A and B are shown apart, each in its own frame.
Chain A
Amino acid sequence: MSKNTFDDDVTAVPVATANGNGSTAPKGVKLPIYMDNHATSPVDPRVLEAMMPYFTGIFGNAASRNHSFGWEAEGAVERAREQVAKLIGATAKEIIFTSGATESNNLALKGIAEMYRERGNHIITQVTEHKAVLDTCKRLEKSGYRVTYLPVKADGLIDLEDLKRAFDEKTILVSIMFANNEIGVVQPVAEIGKLCRERGVLFHSDGVQAAGKISVDVNSMNIDVLSLSGHKIYGPKGVGALYVRRRNPRVQISEQINGGGHERGMRSGTLNVPGIVGLGKACEIAGQEMATEGERLGKLRDKLKAKLEGSLDYIHVNGSMEHRLPNNLNISFVYVEGESLLMGINDVAVSSGSACTSATLEPSYVLKALGLGDDVAHSSIRFGLGRFNTEAEVDYVADKVIDIVKKLRELSPLYEMVKEGIDISKIEWQAH
């Protein structure tokens, strides 16, 4: 199993290991239930349908200029470019296709850092970014760049005053994610964009969890570079995009992969035509359905939250509820260890902030950044609702979680002590 955190790709839940809890699905619910849509999402059948012709019949290389196979492939790629651009208010020429958001984040940060090295060497980011940004920043630090990692407040949002103070004359780039993959909080992107624009500093945002879920507009929000991924929005895995602003200002990026000069020289490599077609279609659907889908998922999420809070004590939501993706709920079930909870709800795929499976025993760095103690971080579960979740599934999940949390609290010495009025923070525990 992977190491800690629910970083996107994280800790898969043992859905396949039937543990004999003997749960039977109510009518209309098919087990196991997938509720981990921040990690990945299934391909929408409409997306798959759009992709299919491009594996066999229309298989050309989009860079082949001399025959119809190439022209057809190129045409499909350009349509997809329009679809992606439309979702975020960009123009088609500003979209670069990549292998996914990790590559997009690497290309954005390294590409800008290299290109603007003469102007400065300071980058500002924040502590709850995805590892694709944080690890890239660490790498840049080794190459002589200075990186400021802004803290977050207890609600998971950065303090704009901290950002203002962090700028200096050498700052070339600010990279702040749009929405967080663990706690779903939405950063004040438009305000950040404005502060950057006023100072002539480029603004990159990892938009993977936000685009297609909530409104993203690169112009009104002054975003200069934005990372996108296909598989978070019911598109295929292995394809992503990077928006690179062409006007006011024209952003330049040093290529990180050399080759045939594809994608206006910024990203060489034969284009993944079926994947790109899928990403385009996924963006088109998201753009059309985002408003109704967001409202529906928001209601389901709120119902899940209300049911859990109505039946369990000592639970709390991690991160701002006000500035949050409609499909995210991250809750700590205090005095219950997250992995044991996952084991009990093994017919429901969610993620845990616990890291009992990791060698380091370190729980989620995102939750710790909010100021949560390790014990509470160990007790957290991320629910990521998606397009294909139903109300019946939400009811099932809520009931199941309530049942297992109660059972585990019967087993928990901590819960017993707290109920008896013992202050467990005063006990001298032996760390191990």
Chain B
Amino acid sequence: MAYSDKVIDHYNNPRNVGQLDKSSESVGTGLVGAPECGDVMRLQIRVNPETQVIEEAKFKTFGCGSAIASSSLATEWVKGKTVSEAMEIKNTDIVKELSLPPVKIHCSVLAEDAIRAAIGDWKKKNAVGEAAAVAAN
């Protein structure tokens, strides 16, 4: 398997590794995948309640190099975006950026799921509906 340079870069120097306080009101946590499938991603975001901008993002991933790279990239991309902007990130964008081969597309899907799950968790905590999020955009 020839990994793309970008996958190798994220694997060697993963961005934003770590964890945020799950109990904090401003933090959304997405935990997706399953150990038996060989991929688990945890992506967390800290959202500014005023601006709805994602000010901080952290991840940890159990998975192959492409899964690690997809989630590392996802944290880079969500940072600085509003939650509704972050919802626009598509797995296909990740595939393109990392030049993932067909067998690794599921890694990008999982990263997209992780973003959505983290945002979903934050919305639930803050009782933010879709409408409010869009309005704030």
Judging by beta carbons under 8 Å apart, are A361 and B3 in contact? no
Q: Which residue, B33, B63, B68, B106, has most C-beta atoms of chain A within 10 A? A: B63
What are the residues of chain B within 8 A of A432 when measuring CB–CB? Answer: 32-34, 37, 39, 106, 109-110, 113
What are the residues of chain A within 8 A of B35 when measuring CB–CB? Answer: 373-375, 378, 414, 424, 429
Please list the residues of chain B having a beta carbon within 8 angstroms of any beta carbon in chain A. Answer: 1-3, 8-9, 11-12, 14, 17, 19, 31-42, 60-65, 67-68, 103, 106, 109-110, 113
Total of A-B residue pairs, C-beta within 8 Å? 114
Quick one: which of A19, A410, A429 contacts B36, CB cutoff 8 A? A429
Q: A17-B2, A361-B106, A432-B39 are in contact. List 7 more A-B contacts (CB 8 A).
A: A355-B38, A356-B39, A356-B67, A358-B103, A378-B35, A430-B32, A432-B113
**How many A residues, CB 8 Å from partner?**
39
What are the residues of chain B within 8 A of A431 when measuring CB–CB? Answer: 34, 36-37
- 6 contacting pairs across A/B (C-beta < 8 A): A1-B103, A336-B62, A340-B63, A340-B64, A411-B62, A430-B33
Judging by beta carbons under 8 Å apart, are A374 and B36 in contact? yes
What are the residues of chain B within 8 A of A429 when measuring CB–CB? Answer: 33-36, 40
What are the residues of chain B within 8 A of A416 when measuring CB–CB? Answer: 19, 60
Judging by beta carbons under 8 Å apart, are A340 and B11 in contact? yes
Interface residues in A314-346 (C-beta closer than 8 Å to B): 335-340, 343-344
The 7 lowest CB-CB distance pairs between A and B, nearest first, are A429-B34, A375-B35, A374-B36, A413-B60, A339-B64, A413-B42, A378-B38
Judging by beta carbons under 8 Å apart, are B103 and A340 in contact? no
Chain A residue nearest to B31 in the complex (CB): A413
Judging by beta carbons under 8 Å apart, are A340 and B33 in contact? no
Quick one: which of B2, B12, B17, B40 contacts A20, CB cutoff 8 A? B12
Q: Does any Cβ of B come within 8 Å of A354's Cβ?
A: yes
What are the residues of chain A within 8 A of B17 when measuring CB–CB? Answer: 410-411
